[in-house]
Amino acid sequence: MHRILRTVRLGLGNLLLHPLRSTLTILGIFCGVASVIVMLAFGEGTSFTAQQRIRALGSTNVIVRSQKPPDNPRAGGTRSFVVEYGLTYLDADRIRESFPNARVLVPIREILDDVWFEDRRTKGVVVGTVPWFLEVANQRVARGRFLTPIEMERHVNSCVIGPRVAADLFPYQDPLGRTVKVKSLFFRVVGVMEEGGDREIEGVKIAGGESAVYIPVTTARSWFGETLVKISSGSREMEKVELHEIDVQVASVEDVLPTKKAIEEMLRRTHPRGDWLVKAPLNLLRAAEQTKKEFNRLLGSVAAVSLLVGGIGIMNIMLASVTERTREIGIRRALGARRRDITLQFLVECVVLSATGGVLGMLVGIGGPLIYEALTKTILIVTPGSVGMAFSISVLVGIAFGVYPAQRAARMDPIEALRHE
């Protein structure tokens, strides 16, 4: 034990004799460890943000959207016709009856129009929905309340507005209790939604978002009807759509994909034109999780190159050190030092260099993302696994790249070493 401790002290003393060289060697490992931790933190943070957005759509939800079929070209510059497509209330009834495992079913109707308060105006999306919409949408009310079953039964002109609508129309006022206007209709604001961004699946926008104005679906059907008029560049187009979206929440994750496939089969029979599409956030969530694994492997591989370079630096320095200390090695062997003592001495120096670089890299790798996150509000996640892995690899790199120089030193012939000038 005494021999080992003396060997360790000797190794540390040799490192301190060349502080600049030791510092530069440590720097290579330091950069490698820090880059591994930081890059994996970026990967984890990006993946976490993406998965949170997907989870906000509901991992047990199946979302059915109306989709306008391709237009048929018609002759003439000015035209006036009605295009009827999309989901119907009958489709909602069929889904409710055909899928007893559906816990919640939410029919949704959308009307794009300007929303007014006095002389202020903003672009909004009137969303006719039901009081249990929040259960499926995973959204919450920031102030006030959401729609009630009584308001839906009585076709009341109440509304809950999104945060963007609230900011545009009520920059200096409390919107609760105020009245907003859509077309010639007035709605009393009973709640304001939390900020949460617009909802989207694979480039397809779904109901809700920061520009939404939620009203009872019965009120939307009574006042806005089922035919919307769009006027653009000399043409007038009228669209008849009963429901723009039907959200189905099933009992468990295992039921999501079978329910999605069954709904698709049902709609193929009842809507042969293909004026619908079915999306399941669960597919996106699984894809995002797989992408996260691949992304982390890629980032880890790229950052590991820095550790490899640091290891090569250690080997280079230790080989130079062996050459410089050939006479010292010969003297130690002549005084009774064994080969394993020489090997241990050089391995100690390699491990100290790599471990010191690893510790410094850990500190920067943990502190750097915290500072960056505070300054930029970007989510970075440093996991214990990435820190432990980076440090362990740094020590292993030191041992792996130090074995050859250590063995080379230990195998020197003592007589030849003593003759070295």
Measured between alpha carbons, how far apart are the two ends of the chain, in Å? 33
Per-residue confidence (pLDDT) for residue 236, from 0 to 100 = 67
The dihedral region occupied by 274, where left means phi > 0, alpha psi between -120 and 50, and beta the remainder, is left
Report the distance separating Cα 92 and Cα 99, nearest Å.
11
| Token pair listed for 349 | 């120096």
Per-residue confidence (pLDDT) for residue 146, from 0 to 100 = 95
Q: Which sign, positive or negative, has the C-alpha torsion 346, 352, 358, 364?
A: negative
Element (H, E) at 337: none
Rounded to a whole number of angstroms, the CA Rg of the chain reads 34
In this structure, the number of other CB atoms found within 10 A of the CB of residue 13 comes to: 10
Report the distance separating Cα 167 and Cα 181, nearest Å.
16
Distance of CA 2 to the CA centre of its chain: 54
What is the chain's pLDDT, residue by residue, as a tens digit (421 residues)?
556 666 667 666 767 777 787 788 888 888 888 888 888 888 788 777 766 666 666 678 888 999 888 765 554 444 546 788 889 999 999 998 888 878 888 999 999 889 999 899 999 999 999 999 988 887 889 999 999 999 999 999 999 999 999 999 999 899 999 999 998 899 999 999 998 766 766 666 777 788 999 999 999 988 887 777 665 555 667 788 889 999 998 887 778 888 889 999 999 999 988 889 998 877 666 776 777 777 777 766 776 677 777 778 778 877 877 777 777 777 777 777 777 777 877 788 888 888 888 889 899 989 988 888 888 877 888 888 888 888 888 888 888 888 888 788 777 777 776 666 5
Report the distance separating Cα 28 and Cα 354, nearest Å.
9
Report the distance separating Cα 391 and Cα 383, nearest Å.
13
Per-residue confidence (pLDDT) for residue 120, from 0 to 100 = 92
pTM (two decimals): 0.62
- Judge contact between 411 and 330, C-beta under 8 A: no
